[in-house]
Chain A
Amino acid sequence: MAGHLLRRLIQAAAVMVLAALVSFLLFNYVGDPVSSMLGQEASRENREELRERLGLNDSFVVQFARFAGHAVQGDFGISYRLQRPVAELIAERLPATVELVLASALFAVSLGVGLGIFTAIRRDTWISRAVLAVSLVGVSLPTFVIGIGLIYLFAVTLGWLPSFGRGDVVHIGWWTTSFLTSSGLKAVILPAVTLGLFQMTFILRLVRAEMLEVLGADYIRTARAMGLTERMINTKYALRNAALPVITIIGLKLGELIAFSIVTETVFQWPGMGLLFIQAVSFADIPIMAAYLFMVAFVFVAINVLVDLLYVALDPRLRGQETAA
């Protein structure tokens, strides 16, 4: 187990370095931040001088080494656009994204698993068919269309929910939460549904497929022959065996939620990291882009490692292989 963990951690570190390198290579193509940093009347000399002092004229290797050297100390530099330390900006935006992802994960998992089980057990009812038909919308419509559609329905036409922002927040130490105010709770509904809809339908269909497969297995037939109640069979034998692939996928999908939150945050002006990143891209705000990509890579790697370990914990067969290897 310890050997397995160590191997995974070394692999993870290698992936991180590679991700940082690739994202840094991309910055050669985002253009010149100085053209947005200085006013239009700034002279050629002033532009060149600022470029020099920011180190933008240095070679790729020098720039990367400087970034990596500072990054390992937790220093991601200062944002060109907002002129504030990047680490502080990300720490400020992190709660908004995390809360949005949590809310939409809660929505996606609870509704996805629940409806998945329901449509698998009662597969021939009209409700199941309706649920499956509607879920097609969730997979096929792009996030921003869903978001704008929800805004026009619930904010403009019905006037029930706000169209943008996070509402009022409460500060708890350095964390800010919108879960403790009524305007904050109202504000999170539409973005969370928008972000989670695709994942919800995905989980629904996956749970349903896994359940159907398991329900057709021999040991379920045996259980039934033994006279166990349907409830016992469904929860104890079917669901547990269907859970393993579902957990893996949910874990990976959680990473996707963070990545996809860029679009949702832009549509709802949700003040999270995704919005910060999008604004950084149009400004060529390299320090923020570097830190964000580095962080997203970290989240994905961390989730992968965790899912891997969870797998081992859940499936005794994998533990056996591990000791043999």
Chain B
Amino acid sequence: MKYLPIILAAVLLLAAPARAENVLRWASQGDAFTMDPHAQNEGQTRTFAQTVADALINRKPDLSKVPGLAMSWNMTSPTTWEFKLRPGVKFHEGQAFTADDVVFSFKRALMPTSDMKDLIASVADVIAVDPMTVRITTKTPDPILIDEITNIFIMSKSWAEQHQVTVPPDMASGKESYSSRHVNGTGPFKLELREPDVRTVMVKNPDWWGLKENPHNVDRIIYTAIRNPATRVAALLSGELEFLLDPPVQDIARIEASGQFTIQRTPSPWTIFLGMNAGGKELTSSSVKGKNPFADIRVRKAVNMAIDVNAISQRIMRGFAQPAGQLVPPGVHGYDATIDKPLGFDADAAKKLLTEAGYPNGFDVRLDCPNDRYLNDEPMCQAIVGMLARVGIKVTLDLKPRTIHFPKVQNKQTDFYLFGWGTDTTDAHNHLYFLGAPNSVWNATAYKDAALFADIDKIAVEIDTAKRDALIKDVSLRLRDAYTYVPLQHPIIAWATKKGVDVPIVLDNLPHFAYARFGN
């Protein structure tokens, strides 16, 4: 009888109540992987988690931090944070929320099979001081701990024990975990039906603590993953959806022209860029032997000048991109628009620099590029091949799916690669560390600058905000002017909603349905 709940849900769905409900039907390209809030640190999975669960500190659609399950917090020492919890909160299945649930959830998120452990790696211990107070201690001072914990969602301890999900699911175990299709949070919506890849239904939680301040009128959310972009647009245009998260850029003008939909746009905290192997002895994909052209800063600068980032944003991205001049994207803490100015396209100056560096006729190299990861990644790379050919750099293009491209970058088996980075913490350190630090998984530039690396580490522990911001600016500039990367663009995301429905756009592309509204 394990299908009984599904049958009941289907019957309930068929026998939809006569009262006019505000049903928000929405779609995007891919479904969440799991309902377990700690098993996967992935965008869509987090959208679902923040819809059914709360963190100690929640975020609003503008990504500002607001009290969640914690009503207040303060730093009692550089390595200690204390949180006063919200009283009277209940989980969807009725359990009362206490400090034990917080301690349990954090310890669970730190376990080896959790995918959140790297996000809160600085946490040393979490203890319940009393039923409504929690203390978190960190190994070193962590100025952005409160930003990181907005992604740590709180589960009920007794529920987890009852269903034997006290440990995040182990993907190598060969068994399904109860928490992959069930969830019990304190959030604004309750999970009613979960059929992965088919349909997920969530209903309003009438007992949500946040309803007093935020009395939303969304009664039901129905999500369907629609893989094919043309079908997604058709589903929206035919009136089968209220909200489409990822309309294809080539269709946005048409959706707008129909007059029935609102398109919202915002730059996203992402940067798409090229990386160069600046530290290798020689380039494996080049016929230049005995030396590495990218080791010469003049060559790297020439590559930067030879690529017309404005053309990429305007033509290839059809205006859905902001030309980039540095790696840190808009919308994150530490972003400085004055640093984010593109170097400027100048093929003649690039050629001169190449001649000075001893490559008057250019050289050859392979560009590794994914073809299924970033919006228009393939045409972007094709355009770059053409731009570099004009200054004599002969680029062979190697297009591969992300499952093959990513390991190349991780294993530093690439000389020249397209990549993108977006942050989970809304802090510049995330970008600077993962793209600048020598021990980062995602930095294949092999660039060596001990002083720069030391300063990146300092940003992680500096708790004086003014000093820290100055450090971020300084490191951003030094990393930019090393020219190991070619910042290309910050993608602009667009959401389409039916008129009469408001789903406020969020920089990180993860909708907050508690802030959605029907009517005016």
Q: Which residues of A contact B (CB under 8 A)?
A: 29-33, 35-44, 46-47, 49-50, 53-55, 75, 77-78, 80-85, 88, 144, 148, 151-152, 155-156, 159, 162-166, 168-171, 174, 181, 266-269, 271, 275-276, 278-279, 282-284
A78 to B79: give the CA distance in the assembly, Å: 41
Q: Which 6 A-B residue pairings sit nearest by Cβ, starting from the closest?
A: A39-B41, A31-B403, A31-B404, A35-B406, A53-B172, A284-B403
If over half of B's interface residues share one DSSP class (helix, strand or loop), that class is named, otherwise mixed; here it is: loop
Q: Mark B285-310, 1 if CB is under 8 A from A, else 0.
A: 00000000000000000000000000
Contact of A82 among B10, B119, B180 (CB under 8 A): B180
Residues from chain B with Cβ under 8 Å of A163 in the complex: 231, 234-235, 238, 240
Given contacts A148-B230, A156-B238, A164-B240, contact A44 B410 (CB under 8 A): yes
Which B residues touch A181, using CB under 8 A? 14
* Bound CA–CA A193/B145 (angstroms): 55
**Counting chain A CB atoms within 10 Å of each CB, which of B6, B406, B407, B441 scores highest?**
B441
B174 interfacial by beta-carbon distance below 8 Å: yes
Q: 14 A-B contacts, Cβ less than 8 Å apart? A: A31-B404, A32-B406, A32-B407, A82-B34, A83-B33, A83-B180, A84-B196, A151-B230, A151-B231, A168-B10, A268-B231, A269-B226, A269-B231, A278-B227
Q: Is the CB of A78 within 8 A of B402?
A: no
Q: Is B386 an interface residue (CB 8 A)?
A: no
Asked if B407 and A35 sit within 8 Å, CB to CB, the answer is yes
Which B residue's beta carbon lies closest to that of A159? Answer: B238
Inter-chain CA distance A261–B239, complex, in Å, is 26
Residue B224, interface by CB 8 Å? yes
User: How far, in angstroms, from A162 to B241 measured CA to CA in the complex?
Assistant: 11
CB pair A35–B403 under 8 Å, yes or no, is yes
What is the number of residues of chain B that contact chain A, defined by CB distance less than 8 Å? 63
For the A-B complex with A32-B407, A40-B424, A84-B181 known, give 11 more contacts whose Cβ atoms are closer than 8 Å.
Answer: A30-B401, A31-B406, A31-B407, A35-B406, A39-B41, A53-B172, A82-B197, A163-B234, A165-B224, A171-B10, A269-B226
Q: Are B441 and A43 in contact (CB under 8 A)?
A: yes
Please measure, in the bound complex, the distance between the C-alpha atom of A283 and the C-alpha atom of B119, giving whole angstroms.
Answer: 23
Q: How far is A164 from B171 in the complex, measured between Cα atoms in Å? A: 31
Interface residues of B in 80-121 (CB under 8 A from A): 112, 115-119
CB neighbours (8 Å) of B41 from chain A are 38-42
Set of chain B residues within 8 Å of A46, measured between Cβ atoms: 112, 117-118
Chain A residue numbers with a CB within 8 Å of B421 are: 40
Q: Is B64 an interface residue (CB 8 A)?
A: no
User: For the complex, what is the distance from the CA of A267 to the CA of B226, rounded to whole Å?
Assistant: 9
A230 to chain B, nearest CB (A): 47
Contact (A275, B197) CB under 8 Å given A53-B172, A83-B171? yes
> Residue among A181, A267, A278 with the most chain B CB within 10 A?
A267
Given contacts A78-B174, A271-B197, contact A31 B234 (CB under 8 A): no
Residues from chain A with Cβ under 8 Å of B177 in the complex? 83
Q: Answer whether residue B40 sits at the interface, using C-beta atoms and an 8 A cutoff.
A: yes
Q: In the complex, are the beta carbons of A276 and B33 less than 8 A apart?
A: no
Complex Cα gap A85–B227 (Å): 22
Q: Is B198 within 8 A of A80, CB to CB? A: no
Q: Which residues of B contact A35 (CB under 8 A)?
A: 402-403, 406-407, 410
- With A78-B176, A171-B6, A171-B7 known as contacts, the answer to whether A54 contacts B171 (CB < 8 A) is yes
Candidates A30, A41, A77; contact of B403 at CB < 8 Å: A30
Provide the bound-state CA to CA distance between A163 and B41, in Å. 31
**Cβ–Cβ < 8 Å partners of B42 in chain A:** 39
**Which residues from chain A contact B402 at a C-beta distance below 8 Å?**
31, 35-36, 282
Is the Cβ of B434 less than 8 Å from the Cβ of A41?
A: yes
B465 in the interface (beta carbon within 8 A): no
Check B162 for interface membership: any CB of A closer than 8 A. no
User: In the assembly, what is the distance between CA of A174 and CA of B405, in Å?
Assistant: 40
B115/A168 in contact, CB under 8 A: no
Most A-side CB within 10 Å, residue of B39, B40, B198, B434: B198
Instruction: Write the nearest CB–CB distance from A261 to chain B, whole angstroms.
Output: 14
List, in ascending order, chain A residues with CB within 8 A of B225's CB.
269
Q: Is B237 an interface residue (CB 8 A)?
A: yes
Closest to A269 in B: B226
**Interface bits B452-463 vs A (CB < 8 Å: 1, else 0):** 000000000000
Residue from B175, B199, B227, B407 with most neighbouring chain A CB atoms (10 Å): B227
Check A168–B13 contact: CB distance below 8 A: yes
Kindly state the separation between the CA atoms of A160 and B431 in the bound complex, as whole angstroms.
Answer: 49
Are B403 and A50 closer than 8 Å at their CB atoms? no
Q: Which residues of A contact B172 (CB under 8 A)?
A: 50, 53-55
- A183's nearest neighbour on chain B, judged by CB, is B14
Q: For the complex, is B398 an interface residue (Cβ under 8 Å from A)?
A: no
Nearest CB in chain A: distance from B369 CB, A? 14
Could you say which residues of chain B place their CB within 8 Å of the CB of A77?
174
B260-295 CB contacts (< 8 Å) to partner A: none
Q: Give CA–CA (A80, B170) in the complex, Å.
A: 10
Tell me, in angstroms, the Cα distance from A88 to B406 when the chains sit together. Answer: 30
8 Å CB contacts to A: which residues of B429-455?
430, 434, 441-442
Q: How far is the CA of A168 from the CA of B405 in the complex (A)?
A: 39
